[in-house]
Amino acid sequence: METISENKCFGGMQGVYKHPSKATGCDMTFGLFLPQEAEDHPVPVLWYLSGLTCTHENAMVKAGAQAWAAEQGIALVFPDTSPRGEGVADDDAYDLGQGAGFYVNATQDPWAPHFRMWDYVADELPRLITANFDIDEDRQSITGHSMGGHGALTLAMSLPGRFRSVSAFSPICHPTASDWGKKQLGAYLGADESKWATHDATLLMRDKGLDIPLLIDQGTSDQFIDLLMPEALAEAVAARRVPADLRLQKGYDHSYFFVSTFMEDHVTFHAEALYE
């Protein structure tokens, strides 16, 4: 593992690291914020999964999460959103290929050799981080924005016992029924739509439910709200009678101005579960 940078930040350290990944078959870069408490003992961790077109850097720089994480003594992990580099398949569209991994294991060419972001985020990167940093692997929570919100929800529902809480900012809630999902799931997983269901938060909620705390914020002026389909997930939550805090925030859009506005709420929400 190579250290790209380390900067003192709110009493802790914001690092950026690169490593060869067996899951994706290429070098991967991630950000990791460690609060000051990590100098003395293992700390709980909050995973932040980013959205379309993002790298590890977007949330690390724009979300304002480090101040609140430092206050709560929580580490933050900012993975990249896809494999990258020479020889990694890409597409001219912003919503497919590099920057748009959708947190799935691709089975279709030309994506299958590298686009294994589920394995990377669910298995390889957690093992790497807990082996090299003072992270308490028994205290983990997860959040994300847009495509990353989709990833956070599907990981939380598919890996019971892994996370203590889950939240999302304007997540893609029902990708099997949305143009933000049909295109990508079809490209990565093939035409058999039965194989898409495990990557749809609404379908997972209908099928499995959720037994950990859930918080979702959605802006009412989000320019992509029709693609995100928050009402579908809300209906599934109600049908399963899952305790959840689903909030519509008047006038907010899809940007990091929205994410940063409510980041304190989300970090505090996760801290309550991580320190329970």
Q: What is the pLDDT of residues 87-116, one digit of tens each?
A: 999 999 999 999 999 999 999 999 999 999
Tokens of 52: 């379309």
DSSP codes of every residue in 58-101: HHHHHS-HHHHHHHHT-EEEEE-SS--STT----SSTTSBTTB-
Q: Detail the DSSP E strand segments found in the chain.
A: 2-9, 12-21, 26-34, 43-49, 75-79, 135-144, 166-169, 214-219, 245-249
Give catalytic residue positions. 146, 222, 254
What parts of the chain have a pLDDT lower than 50? none
pLDDT of residue 276: 83
- What confidence score (pLDDT) does residue 61 get? 97
What DSSP designation does 10 have? Answer: T
3.30.420.40, 1.10.1200.10, 3.40.50.1820, 3.40.50.1980: CATH of 2-275: 3.40.50.1820
- 228 phi and psi angles, rounded to 5 deg: -75, -35
